Structure 1
Amino acid sequence: MTSPPLGILAGTGFYALDALDDAHHESVGTAYGSVSVTRGTWHGQLVVFVTRHGAGHEVPPHRVNYRGIIRALADLGVHDVLAVNVTGGIDPDLEAGELVCLDDFLDLTRRREGTFHDGDGSGGVVHTDMTNAYDPVLRREILDAASAIGQPIIDGGTYVCFDGPRFESPAEIRLAALAGGTVAGMTGVPEVTLAAEAGLRYAAISLVVNPAAGVRPGEPITMDEINEVLATGAPKVLAVVDELVHTRSVFRTVDSDTVTS
């Protein structure tokens, strides 16, 4: 019995997934345009990997084809989506390099296509519940995987999404902090909401790479700083994902043996 493929979405600093065996690239056509994906296996688990910005980081966050990506994953049989977001820390207690397993979001974007339900067609107007947009079961898998390898990760945090590609102003970060924001990013929405609309389970690991603007007054945000943290932080994220995928493959083997015995 073959389990559905696991969807993995990543952005800045994650342009390939070297752990994949039998990896091959393909273009998937959708009603929202073609989407480039990489398909392969990881510990025997089928995986569909998408790098949001393209292999050369040529697509800015406000132009990522979020609807196309989520539609392509659903059309390829994906049920679960594991996302990786590189973020700035709004919470002043967060240190660069820390991981957060997100459980809520705040959408401060202004110019994105954020729904599959635009009122056209037989579906009409559809209102989708976002109470558990970050799936509790998939979040628990992330937390358990991190615990199994001794990787600290913060359980819960609110992702505040801005349009980008510019970084946020100190005033915008103060506003986000007042609203309960934990981290700031540019790609988490509408990705998470579209996944919910498509009926996919979605969860996300946030890698904090810098204090957000104004959190530490007088400290500018630089790409050199971000890339330095990415170099040490990306392996932490990949180690957690590796353990999660490995655990899934073990359970799948046990379940298969039980069925056939």
Structure 2
Amino acid sequence: MAQAKIGIIGGSGLYKMDTLKDVEEVKVDTPFGSPSDALILGTLEETRVAFLARHGRNHNLLPSELPFRANIYAMKHLGVEYLISASAVGSLKEEVRPLDMVIPDQFIDRTKNRTSTFFGEGIVAHITFGDPVCNKLAKVLVDAIASLDLPDVTLHRGGTYVCMEGPAFSTKAESHLHRSWGATVIGMTNLPEAKLAREAEIAYTTLAMVTDYDCWHPDHASVTVEMVIANLKRNAVHAQKVIQETVRRLKENPPPSDAHSALKYAILTPIDKVPVATKEKLELFLKKYF
């Protein structure tokens, strides 16, 4: 039985939601191992939501260690249909300043060691991914931010998120390369989430919170952990206000999303030819198509 229609993944600096009420921890066992942490079910704007600290509540997981498949599977298991992913990013553009918020609509994959699909082991599926976020959900998020009075925050709608491997930050040569591509921000986590959420038929959008200018800016020091943490703390309060307002709007008017039927024409393997073990493993995603 569905327990939460809206999911929230909190990135660096956002390890809990102080505004949640009637909170309970839920441990979800998945065929892909354990999620990053226990999921937190709580009430926000009279709506049940599921919250997950992406790196664990004590930030003990590297970006390349994140159990992306388990995290998204757990959200699907709890009934999540809309997923808001908050993430710390570096800026690749002069006009996108630290403490600004960006709602990217494109991604570039620069990762090397990430598993970004639930499929394989006898079943093939190719999702369409030209528009990697749900534009309707992104608009709800944009409208929520625009309606709030957030000091020192400028909203940027659209843009490209470069997803790098990490955990080290960019070299200057890499940073200039990404700028030459016209990219807007750089982070280490959101593209695998976006791909897996699409396969899980969950509408997904990113709330990218800028902490620094990466290392390209001649008038700003290269990114340091101290700089990131200081700006993350300032962003965390804003992020919770944004998420609360977004949840309120989703509760009142949840938009239909193409993501909710992403697998309809994506699966190429006849279901009766899929190995039983694989079919059981992916039953959560496939049962509507059996």
Relative to the length of structure 2, the TM-score reads 0.81
Q: Is the 8 A contact 2:3 2:78 kept in 1?
A: no
As a proportion of its length, which structure holds more strand?
1
Identity of aligned residues (%): 30
For 2:127, give the aligned amino acid: T
Q: Is the 8 A contact 1:82 1:204 kept in 2?
A: yes
Q: Is the 8 A contact 1:30 1:71 kept in 2?
A: yes
State the 1:67 CA deviation. 0.5
* Greater Cα shift, 144-153 or 27-36: 144-153
Corresponding residue for 2:103? 101
Distance 1:188 1:81 in 2: 12
SS in 1 for 2:56: coil
Q: Deviations over 1:10-38 (max 9, x none)?
A: 11101111111111112101110122211
Corresponding residue for 2:139? 140
SS in 1 for 2:29: strand
SS in 1 for 2:238: helix
Corresponding residue for 2:186? 184
Structure 2: where are the runs of 5+ without partners? Answer: 255-290
Q: CA RMSD in A?
A: 1.7
Asked if 1:37 corresponds to 2:36, the answer is no
State the 1:186 CA deviation. 0.7
Structure 1: where are the runs of 5+ without partners? Answer: 253-261
SS in 2 for 1:30: coil
Aligned length in residues: 248
Corresponding residue for 2:288? none
Distance 2:132 2:84 in 1: 12
Corresponding residue for 1:197? 199
Distance 1:217 1:244 in 2: 35
State the 1:250 CA deviation. 4.5
Q: Within 5 Å, give how 1:1-261 maps onto structure 2.
A: 4-35=4-35, 36-118=38-120, 120-121=121-122, 124-151=123-150, 152-216=154-218, 219-251=221-253
For 2:78, give the aligned amino acid: L
* Greater Cα shift, 36-45 or 173-182: 173-182
* Greater Cα shift, 61-70 or 232-241: 232-241
* Greater Cα shift, 56-65 or 86-95: 86-95
Corresponding residue for 2:273? none
Q: Deviations over 1:142-162 (max 9, x none)?
A: 111112114441110111011
